[in-house]
Structure 1
Amino acid sequence: MDELDRNILGLLGADARMSVATLARRMKVARSTVQARLERLETTGVIAGYTLKLGENARQGRLRASVLLTIEPRAQAAILTRLKAIAEIEKVFTTSGRYDLLLQIAAPSTQVLDQVLDQIGALTGVVSSESLIHLSTKFDRAV
């Protein structure tokens, strides 16, 4: 990946709907060059897809939280299977350090969030959990 590829990714990160012609114009290169680069980035898996990023107005009704889990050794596979069944869990990351898993959760209310946290805590193999409720977003670089 070179500077041109990074520029394409940067522009698409800001606006995934930007046309190939507009990308080419902004980068001052031929449209065919941008098209070929995009095809290569997609084929090699650098670009996995194009998606919709919800704005703050659409996310206002959602309460977000991160949950840190410590789990029993060799329980990860079974716990991940059960976590996949909980719709409010958006992402699960493995981590290094004191905790084994980091969960990203979005719920429509504190009541639902409380139920989800109880559900997670009751899973066989979960030793402990720590919940962090997200209050406000200061900036977001995620694409």
Structure 2
Amino acid sequence: MKTAGDLLHISGDMTEAAKSLDQKLLDLLGRNARMSVTELAGKLKLARSTVQARIEKLERNGTIAGYTLKHGVVPGRAVSAHVSIRVRPNGQGDVERKLAKLDGVRTLYSTSGLHDLIAIVAAASTAKLDETIDAIRAIDGVTETVSAILLSTKLER
């Protein structure tokens, strides 16, 4: 099992391993915020104390607030976009299942109007964002996408 000491330099700077751990931890909590520290440790193959220390750090720095992930502050996900998606008739269920498997798709909404779905996509770079949007377009049943990169948050409650 890895410990917190294995993940940090003596200087206290975050290593890539620690950033990756935080991302995996936040992904798991984003899917199920009620998961116990023991369950999280098991899924991450880490000591319970290491996971507890990372959660406490994320609480202190404001990334985890009331066990709701704040948009735009997930480590390793610097660029976000709203992707409006039009789906072929009777194909929405299959498209939703395939979208749920894409790592960059953080949230998926069903909508009324011109588009059937809106995906909130997050990536480490515009190149990675582009790859995720290309993957969305490649899904059988997706007939159109319209993307808008998020520049800044003006209000979040």
Quickly name the TM-score band, shorter chain normalised. Answer: 0.5 to 0.7
> 8 Å contact 2:80–2:150 — kept in the other structure?
yes
Q: Distance in 2 between matches of 1:54 and 1:114?
A: 23
Structure with larger RCO (C-alpha < 8 A, sep 6+): 1
Match of 2:141 among 114, 125, 137: 125
The C-alpha deviation readout for 1:6-57, integer Å capped at 9, x for no partner, is xxxxxxxxxxxxxxxxxxxxxxxxxxxxxxxxxxxxxxxxxxxx50544876
Match of 2:152 among 113, 136, 141: 136
Match of 1:87 among 70, 84, 103: 103
Shift of 1:116: 0.4
Q: Distance in 2 between matches of 1:109 and 1:95?
A: 27
Runs of 4 or more consecutive aligned structure 1 residues displaced over 6 Å after TM superposition = none
Match of 1:76 among 92, 117, 124: 92
> 8 Å contact 2:86–2:145 — kept in the other structure?
yes
The correspondence of residues 107-118 of structure 1 with structure 2, limited to 5 A, is: 107-118=123-134
The 1:82/1:57 distance shift into structure 2, 3 A limit, reads: closer
Q: What amino acid maps onto 2:140 in structure 1?
A: T
Shift of 1:62: 1.3
Q: Distance in 2 between matches of 1:129 and 1:64?
A: 15
Counterpart for residue 13 of structure 2: none
Unpaired segments of 5 or more residues in structure 2? 1-65
Q: Distance in 1 between matches of 2:144 and 2:156?
A: 29
Instruction: Report which of the two structures shows the higher radius of gyration computed on alpha carbons.
Output: 1
User: TM-score, normalising length from structure 2?
Assistant: 0.54
User: TM-score, normalising length from structure 1?
Assistant: 0.59
Q: What amino acid maps onto 1:65 in structure 2?
A: A
The 1:105/1:134 distance shift into structure 2, 3 A limit, reads: same
| Residue 65 in structure 1 maps to residue 96 in structure 2 | no
The 1:52/1:94 distance shift into structure 2, 3 A limit, reads: closer
The C-alpha deviation readout for 1:83-132, integer Å capped at 9, x for no partner, is 11101101111101111000001101011101001100011111100000
Q: Distance in 1 between matches of 2:72 and 2:83?
A: 22
Q: Distance in 2 between matches of 1:93 and 1:80?
A: 10
The C-alpha deviation readout for 1:51-96, integer Å capped at 9, x for no partner, is 0544876568510100000110110111111111101101111101
The two structures, once aligned, show a CA RMSD in angstroms of 2.1
Q: What amino acid maps onto 1:69 in structure 2?
A: I
